[in-house]
A and B are shown apart, each in its own frame.
Chain A
Amino acid sequence: MIARARMWVERHPVLSFFIFFAVFPFLVPYPAVATQVLTFGLFALGFNLLYGFTGLLSFGHAAYYGLGAYGTGIALAKLRVGSLWVGLAIGVVAAVVGGAIIGFLCLRRRGIYFAMLTLAFAQLLYFIGFHLADWTGGDDGLRGIPALPIWVPGIGSVRLNTSLAFYYFAFVLVGLAVAVLRRILDSPFGAVLQAIRENAERAAACGYNVRRVRWLAFVFSAAFTGLAGGLDALRLSVVPIESLYWTTSGQAVIMTLLGGAGTFFGPFVGAGIFLVLEERLSLITESWPLVMGAVFMVFVLFLPKGVWGTLLARLSARPTPGE
């Protein structure tokens, strides 16, 4: 029964996503928490495309998250763009452009240099964001992002004034992103990504332009991450400068590893675990990052597949009658 459910989820990941997250806000205390799981999950999903599926460890995803958040925020608050859709699109484009440039530079070095370089470039953007206070609000963060109604074809103008309404707005966009990710991974391009992760030299020997494929994966990853940043800018109606800080990059790493790198739902599972841990621990102690760091180390040492990855492995290891 469980094994069959697992098979079904594996075969219909996008449908599973929509079914589960359609009822999700009613399973948690507040819809706002559910929205956070969605946007953080999308952030981790962007990171996971690069780390879990392409084998490139980025320590600088704060850059694309921040570009998405500031792109959307600046478009709406400073440029007075009249549409949330356009604002979000500007955020995603900013993340894509940033990802294309930084990805090109970082991919000039392979292996472990890559992680250091992504971290360094994210820190560069942090300092730029910090000093461009006229645009970004600097240390105070970018404030005054208006809560505009969205225009939906066929329905008309919809106000996102309740947290449940905003949840379903995010639900549709994150769901679309999940569908796009599925499409990418199922395509020949997705197969090459995973081939590169397993053995880059062999993929190169097969005639694939490894650097170009990696660069494309980097850009896609930046796009997903940027959308997560843009959604968070709308959710919070403020963009804190910490969006670009290295701890934000670390958060994507932690969430993905907790959930399960290289698994489809791991990022969302990890986002959920991260949020629960953060909330519970911060009630008990101010030093919750210490516990979070220790939990993370335990996962790296003993549970490298993460919660979701371990669960999947356990379930498929169990022999089931009739299969």
Chain B
Amino acid sequence: MADLTLAALAAQLFTGLVLGMILVLLAVGLSLIFGLMTVVNFAHGSLYMLGAYLGFFLLGLTKNFWISLVLAPLLVGLFGLLIERVLVRPLYGRSIDDPLLLTFGLSLVLVEAARLIWGKIGLTLDPPPALAGAVNLGFSAFPLYRLFVIAVTLAVLVALWLFLEKTDVGLIIRAGSRDRLMVRALGVDLGRIWLIVFGIGTALAGLAGILAGPMRGVYAEMGVTIVIESFVVVVVGGMGSLLGAIVAGILIGEVVSLTTYFAPKLAEIMVFVVMALVLLVRPSGLFGETGLME
């Protein structure tokens, strides 16, 4: 009997890790955009939703999950570039709240547009046949697709880390998050860098969406709860810290998953309890530096 519970617990921990991965993808994008541009993208959840719907649309068109998995985030990223150029750019130099207000309006438009185009009833996104079924992990069987989500996220995070640490553009991004004025003084055109970062951040949201689609369903409001949870991840991890976003994302994923197991009614509430505790004990977040980017 004890063995059985232990196996169930391990399975639950794994489920938490998968949810954590989705949150990490969202929080890393939010944190990257905020760190460099001090723009809070309220529409991040809508772009996540858009990623899932585009995935569904492309899957219907191409009948190929792998092409959809690559194309959907790219299209969301392109849309992100458009948002930055047309909507966010005119607001630079204005109050830090204005981009947040604008993207809030945008999220209303996008959610409603999705309802218009794809209907109010949720859709199901099927994982590819190659990823159907389950693997025996020793303690319990686990859906192969979920392992795939973990693998993709890890690969993307490694690629992102290499990009930020090993390339010149990455260097400028890191420098720009530290001291925008100094980078400008060195003759770097930060406008283009902002565009790139906004594109990467939104593409990550799109990727999170299409990855989450087969597990959580595709519906117009799918981005609402999860974007608030990823705000919590960013606050808990410390804004601008990628490591913080990763650790906090997994932590929040595990908290949700474990409370779902032990006390289902408390699952949504525990996320905010963790946030309140972190705020009381360590207001700058687990990995945040005090005073940075406030």
Chain A residues with a Cβ under 8 A of chain B: 51, 57, 59, 105, 108-113, 115-117, 119-121, 123-124, 127-128, 131, 246, 250, 253, 257, 287, 289-290, 292-294, 296-297, 300-301, 304
Contact = CB atoms under 8 A, between A and B. Distances in A.
A117 B235 contact: yes
B232 A120 contact: yes
B98 A297 contact: no
12 contacts: A108-B280, A112-B96, A116-B232, A120-B232, A127-B269, A128-B269, A246-B224, A253-B104, A287-B112, A287-B115, A293-B105, A301-B90
Interface stretch (B122-130, B145-153, B271-279): B271-279
A297 B105 contact: yes
Contact of A121 (B34, B102, B272): B272
B108 A250 contact: yes
B207 to A, nearest CB: 22
Q: Which of A110, A124, A253, A304 has the most CB of B within 10 A?
A: A124
A109 B101 contact: no
Contact of B294 (A59, A110, A117, A257): A110
B40 interface: yes
A70 B112 CA distance: 29
Contacts of A301: 87, 90-91, 102
A290 B116 CA distance: 10
B158 to A, nearest CB: 28
B97 A115 contact: yes
Contacts of A109: 235, 279, 283-284, 294
B110 to A, nearest CB: 8
Given A112-B34, A294-B105, A300-B101, A119 B283 contact: no
Contacts of A113: 235, 239, 294
A121 B268 CA distance: 12
Interface of B: 34, 38, 40, 87, 90-91, 94, 96-98, 100-102, 104-109, 111-113, 115-116, 224-225, 228, 231-232, 234-235, 239, 265, 268-269, 272-273, 275-276, 279-280, 283-284, 293-294
Nearest to B116: A287
Given A57-B97, A111-B96, A117-B279, A123 B272 contact: yes
Contacts of B97: 51, 57, 112, 115
Contacts of A120: 228, 231-232, 235, 272, 275
B276 A105 contact: yes
Contacts of A116: 40, 231-232, 234-235
Given A111-B294, A115-B97, A127-B272, 14 more contacts: A112-B97, A112-B100, A113-B294, A115-B100, A116-B40, A116-B234, A120-B232, A120-B272, A123-B225, A128-B269, A287-B112, A297-B105, A301-B102, A304-B98
Nearest to A130: B268
A113 B279 CA distance: 11
A52 to B, nearest CB: 11
A257 to B, nearest CB: 7
Contacts of B234: 116
* The 8 A-B residue pairs with the shortest CB-CB distance in the complex, in nearest-first order: A293-B108, A290-B112, A124-B272, A297-B105, A296-B105, A293-B109, A116-B231, A108-B283
Nearest to B266: A131
Give the interface centre of B87, B98, B239, B276 by most chain A CB atoms within 10 Å: B276
A112 B87 CA distance: 19
Which residue, A109, A113, A115, A253, has most C-beta atoms of chain B within 10 A?
A113
Contact of A300 (B40, B105, B293): B105
Contacts of A131: 265, 269
Nearest to A285: B116
Contacts of A117: 235, 275, 279
B225 to A, nearest CB: 8
Contacts of B269: 124, 127-128, 131
Nearest to B102: A300
Nearest to A257: B101
A119 B96 contact: no
